[in-house]
Structure 1
Amino acid sequence: MNKHKKNSLENQSNNELDKNNTVFYETIVLLFIFSFLIIDFFPQFGSVEIIAPQFLYLSFINIITAVFLYKNQDLISNGLVAVFKKSSVLKAYVSFLLFCGFALFSANNFSLAIVNFMQIITVFCLFINLSVLLHNRLDLIYKIVFLVGISVFIQAYLELNHFIGTAKTSTILNGLSVLKGNTGNVNIFAANLSGKIPFLLLGITHFTKWKKGLLILSLFLASLLIFLTASRASYISLFVEIVLFIIVFLKINNQKKPNYINYISIVLPLLIAFFTANIIFEKSNNNDRYKSVTNRILQISASKEKDASKNARLTYWGNAIEIIKKNPVLGIGLGNWKIESMPYEKTQTNDLQISAHPHNDFLEIAAETGVLNSIIYLFIFIFGLVLNLKNIFNKNEKEVQIIASLALLLMVSYGIDALFNFPLYRPTMQINFCFFLALTILNIKPTAALKEFDYRKAITLILILLSVVTFYFSYSAFEAFRLENDTRNDLAQNESDYNYSAKEIISRIPKFPNVAISSQPFIELAGIYSLKEKQYPEALKYFNLSQKINPYTGRSEWYKYRIYKELGNTDSAYFYAKKAFEIRPRSEDYYLSAIVVTVNKKDTTAILQIHNQFTKYIQKPNIWINTSSALAQSQYSNKALIQFIDSGLLVFPNDTTLLNRKKSFQNDGLRTNTISSKPVKNEAVKPNNITIANQYGTESKYDKAIVYYKKALLDDPKNIIITQNIGICYFKLNQFKTAIIYLEKTLNSPTLTDGKTEFLLGASYLNTKNREKGCQNLKLAENKNYPGAAALVVQYCN
Structure 2
Amino acid sequence: MSLIKYNSLPTYILLVLYILTGAIPALGSIDILAPQWVYFGSINFITAIYLIVNSDKFLEPLSRIFKSYFFWAYLILILWASISYFYAINKVETLINLPRYFNVFIACIFSYILISKVIQPILFITYVFGGFLLIEIVAYYNDFFDVYSSTEYFSLTRVKGVSGNKNITAASIAIKIPFLLYLINVTKYKLIKFISFSILVLSFLAISLVNARAAILSSSIVIIFYIGFFIVSYFKKNISLRPALVSISYGIVSFLLSFSINEFLATNANTNSFTNTVGKIQFNNEASNGRFDYWLDVYNHLKDNPVIGCGLGNWKIASIEYGKRHINGYTVPYHAHNDFLQFFSELGILGGLLYLSIFIFLFINLLFLLIKSKSMEYSLIYFILGCSLFVYALDASLNFPIARPLMQSSLILLIGMILYLINENKNFKLLFNTITAKIFFLLFLILIVLSTTIHIISYNSLTKQGKLLFEFNNNKFEMSLDELDQISDEFPNLTETALPIKAMKARYYYLNNLKDKAHKFASEGAKDNPFIYFPENLKGQFFFQEGNIDSAYIYSKVAFENIPRNKPHFDLYIKTLINKKNISGIENAFNKAKEVFGDDSVIWQLYLQALANTRNIGDPHAMQQAANAFNLFPDNQSIFSLYKILTYGQARMIEAEKIGREAVELYKNKSYDQAFILFKQANDLDPLDPVFPLNAGFALFESKKFESAISFFNLVIPTRHTAHSLRAMRYKALSLINLNKRDDACKLLDYLRIKGKKRMYFQEYDKYCK
Q: TM-score, normalised by structure 2?
A: 0.79
1-structure distance, mates of 2:690, 2:443: 71
Q: Which ranges in structure 2 are unaligned for 5 or more consecutive residues?
A: 659-687, 692-721, 723-770
Which digits, 9 at most, give the CA deviation of each residue in 1:18-73, with x for residues without a partner? x4222441x32332122122222221112121111111111111111211222233
Matched, 1:387 2:365: yes
How do 1:324-723 residues align onto structure 2 when only pairs under 5 Å count? 324-397=302-375, 400-443=378-421, 444-445=424-425, 450=430, 453-454=433-434, 455-492=436-473, 495=476, 498-501=478-481, 503-509=482-488, 511-618=490-597, 619-640=599-620, 641-652=622-633, 658-659=639-640, 661-663=642-644, 665-666=646-647, 668-671=648-651
Q: Which residue of 2 aligns with 1:205?
A: 185
2-structure distance, mates of 1:566, 1:251: 74
2-structure distance, mates of 1:652, 1:558: 29
Q: 1:154 to 1:717 in 2, by over 3 A?
A: farther
Q: Which residue of 1 aligns with 2:761?
A: none
1-structure distance, mates of 2:508, 2:64: 56
Alignment check: 8 A CA contact 1:136 1:446 kept? no
Per mean C-alpha deviation after superposition, the further-off stretch among 568-577 and 63-72 is 568-577
2-structure distance, mates of 1:464, 1:252: 46
2-structure distance, mates of 1:656, 1:182: 45
Q: 1:398 to 1:23 in 2, by over 3 A?
A: farther
Task: State the 1:351 CA deviation.
Answer: 1.1
1-structure distance, mates of 2:381, 2:252: 22
Aligned partner letter, 2:623: I
Q: 1:248 to 1:613 in 2, by over 3 A?
A: same
Q: Which residue of 2 aligns with 1:4?
A: none
Q: Which residue of 1 aligns with 2:673?
A: none
Matched, 1:229 2:213: no
Aligned partner of residue 456 in structure 1, secondary structure = helix
1-structure distance, mates of 2:288, 2:431: 55
1-structure distance, mates of 2:158, 2:604: 36
Alignment check: 8 A CA contact 2:612 2:645 kept? no
Alignment check: 8 A CA contact 1:388 1:440 kept? yes
Alignment check: 8 A CA contact 1:602 1:635 kept? no
Greater radius of gyration (CA)? 2
Alignment check: 8 A CA contact 1:506 1:523 kept? no
Aligned partner letter, 1:301: Q
Aligned partner of residue 498 in structure 2, secondary structure = coil
Q: 1:522 to 1:621 in 2, by over 3 A?
A: closer
Task: State the 1:560 CA deviation.
Answer: 1.3
How well do the aligned residues superpose, as a CA RMSD in angstroms? 3.0
Aligned partner letter, 2:19: L
Task: State the 1:419 CA deviation.
Answer: 0.9
Alignment check: 8 A CA contact 1:40 1:155 kept? no
Which digits, 9 at most, give the CA deviation of each residue in 1:195-221, with x for residues without a partner? 111221111112222212221111111
Aligned partner of residue 478 in structure 1, secondary structure = helix
Task: State the 1:582 CA deviation.
Answer: 1.9
Q: Which residue of 2 aligns with 1:79?
A: 60
1-structure distance, mates of 2:176, 2:511: 49
2-structure distance, mates of 1:495, 1:275: 48
Alignment check: 8 A CA contact 2:45 2:448 kept? yes
Q: Which residue of 1 aligns with 2:4?
A: 21
1-structure distance, mates of 2:202, 2:211: 15
Q: 1:493 to 1:342 in 2, by over 3 A?
A: closer
Aligned partner of residue 350 in structure 1, secondary structure = coil
2-structure distance, mates of 1:452, 1:43: 40
Q: Which residue of 2 aligns with 1:709?
A: none
Matched, 1:179 2:163: no
2-structure distance, mates of 1:112, 1:661: 46
**Identical amino acids, percent of aligned pairs:** 26
Task: State the 1:332 CA deviation.
Answer: 1.1
2-structure distance, mates of 1:212, 1:540: 66
Task: State the 1:493 CA deviation.
Answer: 5.6
Question: Which of residues 266, 278, 282 in structure 1 aligns to 2:251?
Answer: 266
Q: Which residue of 2 aligns with 1:682?
A: none
Alignment check: 8 A CA contact 1:179 1:186 kept? yes
Q: TM-score, normalised by structure 1?
A: 0.76
Aligned partner letter, 1:508: I
2-structure distance, mates of 1:142, 1:716: 77
1-structure distance, mates of 2:76, 2:432: 25
Per mean C-alpha deviation after superposition, the further-off stretch among 614-623 and 378-387 is 614-623
Which digits, 9 at most, give the CA deviation of each residue in 1:531-576, with x for residues without a partner? 1211011111111111111122221122212222332323222332
Aligned partner letter, 2:588: Q
Which digits, 9 at most, give the CA deviation of each residue in 1:262-296, with x for residues without a partner? 3323322211212222333345669xxx4x32232
Matched, 1:279 2:267: no
Q: 1:461 to 1:401 in 2, by over 3 A?
A: farther
How do 1:103-118 residues align onto structure 2 when only pairs under 5 Å count? 103-118=84-99
2-structure distance, mates of 1:551, 1:94: 31
Aligned partner of residue 638 in structure 1, secondary structure = coil
Which digits, 9 at most, give the CA deviation of each residue in 1:352-399, with x for residues without a partner? 110001111111111110112212222212221121122222123566
Q: 1:539 to 1:262 in 2, by over 3 A?
A: same
Q: Which ranges in structure 1 are unaligned for 5 or more consecutive residues?
A: 1-15, 674-684, 690-714, 719-749, 751-798
2-structure distance, mates of 1:574, 1:329: 38
Q: Which residue of 1 aligns with 2:226?
A: 245
Which digits, 9 at most, give the CA deviation of each residue in 1:203-250, with x for residues without a partner? 111222221222111111111111112222112211222233344456
Alignment check: 8 A CA contact 2:226 2:248 kept? no
How many pairs does the alignment contain? 652
Alignment check: 8 A CA contact 1:366 1:374 kept? yes
Q: Which residue of 1 aligns with 2:48?
A: 66
2-structure distance, mates of 1:194, 1:670: 63
Q: 1:451 to 1:633 in 2, by over 3 A?
A: closer
Task: State the 1:315 CA deviation.
Answer: 0.3
Task: State the 1:507 CA deviation.
Answer: 4.2
1-structure distance, mates of 2:425, 2:225: 25
Alignment check: 8 A CA contact 1:359 1:420 kept? yes
Q: 1:379 to 1:506 in 2, by over 3 A?
A: same
Aligned partner letter, 2:262: A
Aligned partner letter, 2:437: R
Matched, 1:122 2:103: yes
Aligned partner of residue 341 in structure 1, secondary structure = helix
1-structure distance, mates of 2:385, 2:145: 34
2-structure distance, mates of 1:492, 1:300: 32
2-structure distance, mates of 1:133, 1:491: 47
2-structure distance, mates of 1:564, 1:655: 32
Q: 1:569 to 1:406 in 2, by over 3 A?
A: same
Which digits, 9 at most, give the CA deviation of each residue in 1:616-654, with x for residues without a partner? 222233432332223212243324332111222454467
Q: Which residue of 2 aligns with 1:193?
A: 173
2-structure distance, mates of 1:301, 1:574: 44
Aligned partner of residue 47 in structure 1, secondary structure = coil
Q: 1:301 to 1:84 in 2, by over 3 A?
A: same
